[in-house]
A and B are shown apart, each in its own frame.
Chain A
Amino acid sequence: MLEQCEGSHAVAQAVALSRPEVICAYPISPQTHIVEGLGELVKSGALQNCEFINVESEFAALSVAIGSSAAGARSYTATASQGLLFMAEAVYNASGLGLPIVMTVANRAIGAPINIWNDHTDSMSMRDAGWLQLFAETNQEALDLHIQAFRIAEELSLPVMVCMDGFILTHAYERVDMPNQAQVDQFLPPYEPRQVLDPNDPVTIGAMVGPEAFTEVRYLAHAKQMQALDLIPQVATEFKAIFGRDSGGLIKTYQTEDADTIVIALGSVLGTIKDTVDDLRAQGHKVGVLGITSYRPFPISAIRDATVRAERIVVIEKCFAVGVGGIVSRDVRSAVRNRPQPVYTVVAGLGGRPITKDSVNTLLLQAMSDKLDLLNFMDLDWSVVNRVLDREKASRRSGPVAEGVLRDLGTVHTRLS
């Protein structure tokens, strides 16, 4: 049924329709309305056979999910930003133990400087932690991906992170087609664990593994992620058969067939990029868009095949590896290795900096005439940057950087005198 609702509400409903048995969450910032909504559904009795556990920290949230998942319960949690970092040790443990937990990450920046706005730094910091990472473009896709995530996670016995842009999606009201319980039940069978802590049939989960077997256990985790490259599209096909929608899969392409220039991105910014591409197409420019839905596993072959005709690739990413450059673009470069096409990195939207159609348009026009550097920063204010660099050259005690920038901009008074 179509409804107009907040992204967080849509996801809370999707999680509830997936019949979770344990939801644990640390209920204060950085958190979203998702777990708030689920808490209400459990309390009101609308969501049956589910225990909502308020925990004392994000570390505890995921640790409880690890315990409940190992005990055979379908388990869910959600976090963002510093919360994900605080649970980092448990993030690695959940995947290392092969527990099919589903977790929403409402993507936000990581401090310092403290910043509550959207970018992808949080989930990117956990990209190599062994979880699958699926990125949603719209609230509809966020809703759909959660239902698919339980299927994929339980089939592989691996945890899945569903990443959706914090605020831009979580706080946006838009139209979603909410499935009904019968459809979700048809798609998602009850959880049948590959491993379970059962007193009647005791096993050890989490044994110590020495050098004699650690490499093999790690390789098996990689082998499972490679299996996911086949499973994710298969699940998307089955999803379409029941729900009638294209959602999920490894990648999505838009106007790429004859494109000389292909823009690659993740998440909600794809919409703005598609609108820009429509304008550029109307002016005769052959531009296309490739959205990465599955960032882990990284779909090397799918990206390689979809970009075979392109003369150049522009990766717009909301994250940045300080000291190196792009994160997504490095993976894209590995996918198109041995090809002459340049892969331009464009870092954009950090800490909530708006990504406008105008800026994307200017950028793509530059890209099409190969006037970009390999590493670019969209809408970076060089005057602000240079002022700080000059100050640091001029004076040893140049002071804290972030506060100096704010003072130069004149937006915040950090000093009374």
Chain B
Amino acid sequence: MAKVIERREMSTVEQAYLVEAAKGLYGTAKHLVRGFFKHETLPTVSYPEQIIPIPQDYRAHHRLMKRPDGEARCVACYMCSTACPARCITIEAEEAKDGHIEKKAKKFEIDLLVCVFCGLCEEACPVDAIRMDTKKVSVVADSRDQFVRNMENLLDWNPADYPADDTQSQKAPGGRLNDQARTEWAGGTGH
């Protein structure tokens, strides 16, 4: 049921306006005095110098996860590009030679100008190969072409930037768990 708002008539004093205007002036004066003497209470954050921490599950620039040997974990199943509502992911597949998987991505491109950062690719991926947890929110480039991120860009990340309890990131080359993961990788039979 809709809420009925009671509209009351203005009193004589309110209609005379001057008193109400004075009240309004008093209200703004309070803000002014507070802002002048208690500058720190203003909500403004001076951005490039002070950066508000971005939460871990914020959907930002994508990255491709890596196997212990540094290859992309992607198996070129096209699930992400199928799930993508903006159709910004372009994948070309080729045969994987190393015996662990059948297919791998030859080309994996994300057009950031088309991407809507919905996170559906992350959810669709069966092997946790694509993630959006880089916290990179400011992407700057000179031309449209540079906003199309290729495989090399997407694989360019450092395990040191990710939390130590994020095992999937730590199993990449340079990560804390990489040695252990490589042993399993060499002795194991794929997934």
Does A pair with B? no
Q: Using CB atoms and an 8 Å cutoff, list the residues of chain B in contact with chain A.
A: none
